[in-house]
Amino acid sequence: MKLVSTVAPARERIVVALAKRLRLSKAVVNVILALVAVFWLVPTISLLVISLRPESLFGQSGWWKVFTAPSQLTWGNYATIFSQGFHSGGVLDSLVTSLEITIPVTILVALISSLAAYSLVFGSWRGRDMIFLVIVGLMVVPLQVALIPVVQLYREMGNLFGLNPYGTIPGVIIFHVAFGLPFGIFLMRNFLTGIPKDLLEAGRIEGAGEWKIFYRIVLPLALPAIASLAIFQFIWVWNDLLVALVFLGGNVHTPLTIFLYDQTRSLAANYWIVSTGAVVSIFVPLIVFFSFQRYFVRGVLAGAVK
């Protein structure tokens, strides 16, 4: 009995010591993560502060001076870049052009990827696995290697059919959709493999066709993966500069990335315009991300881990 009474307090002391050490380690990890988050946010914060400071103060003092003189903050820079309205070459026109490109690409990639994944998972045709392997292989093809061939293909289409998508917004949309489909099909296919086939069989017994099964059963269950794919695709296309430069470099209406690129070339000293336009370009993806964030982690884990 004396041995038992001696061992029990010893165990309690060990448990208490381990709990204290665990709490200490968690506190250290939280402090480190907080410091990393602050360090990671410094460029974004500086960009926002610069966009809210007058042009005259840019070369006189650093952006961090605003914390000691908050009266420096002003909306004048935004009023300047928005003063052109929707005229070509202005930030609002570029914003609309970016939306005209990004929204159709996101919708088309999500829809086509869902339909293709449905066919690959629940279809009963030969060669499904081989087609999927080809699609996975296309994911490693760099976008840059296809620029010149696609430009030549567009020009040949113009010569043969009188319809040349080069230099137009539909041409950019087609290019982004083509290169967004491999990843989209891969993500959606891996997610749909987790849906029990008994649900589809029950729908067929009730007399539902394939389209109705896809729309009423599969699509609602695949919403987390579709939302994750939409976020990825939207951000990729929204931040694209290379494809926009190649296909829309000489166009009157250009996306925000080209607008910012032109500002750095023609107004190299006026970084307050660049920072203001960059904040505008960041705002829209943030809205999209926070609108679908509850589906984001669930969709990525369910689709990519399998």
What six digits make up the tokens of 27?
Answer: 């506190």
Domains in the chain: how many in total?
Answer: 2
- Name the residue range of residue 208's domain: 85-304
Give residue 211's identity as a one-letter amino acid code.
Answer: W
User: CA separation (Å) from 139 to 56, 133, 154, 191, 242?
Assistant: 48, 10, 22, 17, 18
Mean pLDDT of 219-240: 89
Report yes or no: 172 and 254 within 8 Å, Cβ to Cβ. no
Cα–Cα dist 229/44, whole Å: 25
**Do 129 and 233 fall within a single domain?**
yes
**183: phi then psi, degrees, rounded to nearest 5:** -65, -40
**Do 100 and 68 fall within a single domain?**
no
Burial of 185 (0-12, 13-18, 19+ CB in 10 A): buried
Mean pLDDT of 181-204: 86
* Tens-digit pLDDT profile for residues 61-83: 777 778 777 777 888 778 877 87
**Do 50 and 140 fall within a single domain?**
no
Give residue 256's identity as a one-letter amino acid code.
Answer: L
* The pLDDT of residue 142: 86
**Do 104 and 184 fall within a single domain?**
yes
For tokens 């279809």, the residue is 123
Give residue 85's identity as a one-letter amino acid code.
Answer: G
What six digits make up the tokens of 113?
Answer: 């990827």
* Least trusted range by pLDDT, from 24-28, 72-76, 152-156, 234-238: 24-28
Cα–Cα dist 41/58, whole Å: 20
**Do 137 and 49 fall within a single domain?**
no
- Examine residue 292 and state whether it is found in any structural domain, yes or no: yes
What six digits make up the tokens of 71?
Answer: 């009266």
Mean pLDDT of 230-257: 87
What sign does the CA torsion over 54, 55, 59, 60 have?
Answer: negative
- Examine residue 79 and state whether it is found in any structural domain, yes or no: no
**Do 25 and 131 fall within a single domain?**
no
* pLDDT tops 70 at residue 292: yes
* pLDDT tops 70 at residue 182: yes
pLDDT, the chain, mean: 80
**Do 46 and 110 fall within a single domain?**
no
Cα–Cα dist 93/256, whole Å: 9
**Do 264 and 297 fall within a single domain?**
yes
**Do 92 and 203 fall within a single domain?**
yes
The gap between the terminal CA atoms of the chain, to the nearest Å, is 54
**Do 47 and 106 fall within a single domain?**
no
**Do 65 and 94 fall within a single domain?**
no
Cα–Cα dist 301/227, whole Å: 13
User: CA separation (Å) from 106 to 5, 155, 168, 302?
Assistant: 68, 25, 18, 20
| CATH number of the structural domain spanning residue 229 | 1.10.3720.10
Q: pLDDT band for position 47 (50/70/90)?
A: confident
Secondary structure in 3-state letters for 41-74: HHHHHHHHHHHCCCHHHCCCCCHHHHHCCHHHCC
Cα–Cα dist 35/262, whole Å: 35
**Do 45 and 108 fall within a single domain?**
no
* The pLDDT of residue 2: 46
